[in-house]
Amino acid sequence: MSKIKPSKGAPYARILGVGGYRPTRVVPNEVILEKIDSSDEWIRSRSGIETRHWASPEETVAAMSVEASGKAIADAGIDAGQIGAVVVSTVSHFSQTPAVATEIADRLGTNKAAAFDISAGCAGFGYGLTLAKGMIVEGSAEYVLVIGVERLSDLTDLEDRATAFLFGDGAGAVVVGPSQEPAIGPTVWGSEGDKAQTIKQTVSWDRFRTGDLSELPLDSAGNVKFPAITQEGQAVFRWAVFEMAKVAQQALDAAGISPGDLDVFIPHQANVRIIDSMVKTLKLPEHVTVARDIRTTGNTSAASIPLAMERLLATGEAKSGDTALVIGFGAGLVYAATVVTLP
């Protein structure tokens, strides 16, 4: 048997830079109220959301990703040519072939970096980060760009009062690279496919192929509704506050970090009430900075954690070298949590 030379990776991996892109258009709750029977007070008290950003036709998934990535690459202090792989997590890029990651890798000026998309809903950032860490330690890339990007406004039924106010658009990116010290803890992740129906697309795309649209839901103007994200809100809320607090605790334990050692908590920005409940259950001390970016960003799925991370660092609420617990959870149901050192 011939001997195969193994690849040689870095001892550990770390996040070296972060960048975000928020679409120019800010959408206040008043705009949401044009289509649903609700109130600004209800939306704020049940979700924490005051405004969200919606992308224009020019602010495509690729365009937003390139903007966010450019900032992350500059923040990391590397050259785009050094990036060995680009991982994009999205559920709202409407052309499956080719993967949008290849266009982004090209537009950024990478040197033919490996590029692919993943689908892991609101856990996408943690899934991508885990892949990146593996590639760096195993040696197939020195630097990996991980992007979470969504145009969820395209997948929102604005006439559905249970979801119309929740979602937003944006892109967040991090550069992950080699480290001499551990700076990304063990990932606690998983899936619960038995709960797949609790967050899903209303209609699958292939229904539009058969030509028989007769039983599809219509909007108030009588047009067939575009597929949208629908959910069993209370079931998801219960799962998030009960099960995800446990997963977050497991990630702390796996990294050997106590709540007292923690500086920052960056959960997926799904609902401020989920965030507040987790903070209570985890008994996070007062000194821990908690991301509540949802207020002005809404739920941007895979983009929410890097967007919140960038904002906390930009405002000075968090600083480079801080220890942060990150946890993503959503459609699947899927989840991923880990402890990281902030760039």
Partner 1 sequence: MAATQEEIVAGLAEIVNEIAGIPVEDVQLDKSFTDDLDVDSLSMVEVVVAAEERFDVKIPDEDVKNLKTVGDATDYILKHQG
Ligand X SMILES: CC(C)(COP(=O)(O)OP(=O)(O)OC[C@H]1O[C@@H](n2cnc3c(N)ncnc32)[C@H](O)[C@@H]1OP(=O)(O)O)[C@@H](O)C(=O)NCCC(=O)NCCS
Catalytically annotated residues? 122, 268, 299
Q: Which option in ligand X, partner 1, none does residue 134 bind, with CB closer than 5 to 8 A by kind?
A: none
25 contacts ligand X (rule: CB under 6 A): no
Distance CA 263, CA 250 (A): 17
Q: Residue 277: name its binding partner from partner 1, ligand X, none (Cβ under 5 to 8 Å by kind).
A: partner 1
Answer yes or no whether residue 241 interacts with partner 1 by CB under 8 A.
yes
User: How far apart, in whole angstroms, are the C-alpha atoms of residue 271 and residue 330?
Assistant: 12
236 contacts which partner out of ligand X, partner 1, none, CB within 5 to 8 A by kind?
ligand X
Which residue, 42 or 116, is less far from ligand X as judged by CB?
Answer: 42
CA angle, 163 as apex, 336 and 207 as ends, to 5°? 90
Furthest CA-CA distance within the chain: 71
**Nearest approach, Cβ of residue 263 and ligand X (Å):** 25
**Is 293 within 8 Å of 53 (Cβ atoms)?**
no
Q: Are 248 and 337 in contact (CB under 8 A)?
A: yes
The distance of closest approach from Cβ of residue 280 to partner 1 in the complex, given in angstroms and rounded to an integer, is 8
Spatial neighbors of 85 by CB under 8 A, at least 6 apart, are 113, 114, 115, 132, 135, 140, 141, 144, 145
- Yes or no: say if 266 and 291 are a contact pair by the CB < 8 Å rule: yes
Q: Under the criterion CB under 6 A, does residue 42 sit at the interface with ligand X?
A: yes
To partner 1, the closest distance from the beta carbon of 283 in angstroms equals 12
Q: Does 238 bind partner 1 (CB under 8 A)?
A: yes
Query: C-beta of 148: minimal distance to ligand X in Å?
Result: 12
Identity of residue 255: A
Distance of CA 54 to the CA centre of its chain: 16
Identify what 17 binds: partner 1, ligand X, none; CB under 5 to 8 Å per kind.
none
- The yes or no reply on residue 234 touching partner 1 (CB under 8 A) is yes
Q: Is 148 helix (H, G, I), strand (E, B) or coil?
A: strand
Residues near partner 1 (CB under 8 A) are 45-46, 232, 234-235, 237-238, 241-242, 271, 273, 277
